[in-house]
Amino acid sequence: MNIIIFLVGVIIFLIYFMSFVWELKQDKKLKEKELLDDKNYYKRNLLPKPKKAYQSRIKNYNWKK
> What pLDDT, on the 0 to 100 scale, is given for residue 35?
74
Q: What DSSP line would sit under 28-42, residue for residue? A: HHHHHHHHHHHHTHH
More confident residue, 5 or 54: 5
pLDDT digits over 13-63, tens only?
Answer: 999 999 999 999 998 888 887 777 666 666 666 666 665 555 555 666 666
> Residue 47 region, left (φ>0) first, then alpha (ψ -120 to 50), else beta?
beta
Segment (H or E) for 21: helix 2-39
pLDDT score for 65: 58
What type of residue sits at position 31? K
Q: What's the pLDDT score for residue 32?
A: 81
pTM above 0.75, yes or no: no
C-beta neighbour count of 44 within 10 angstroms: 8
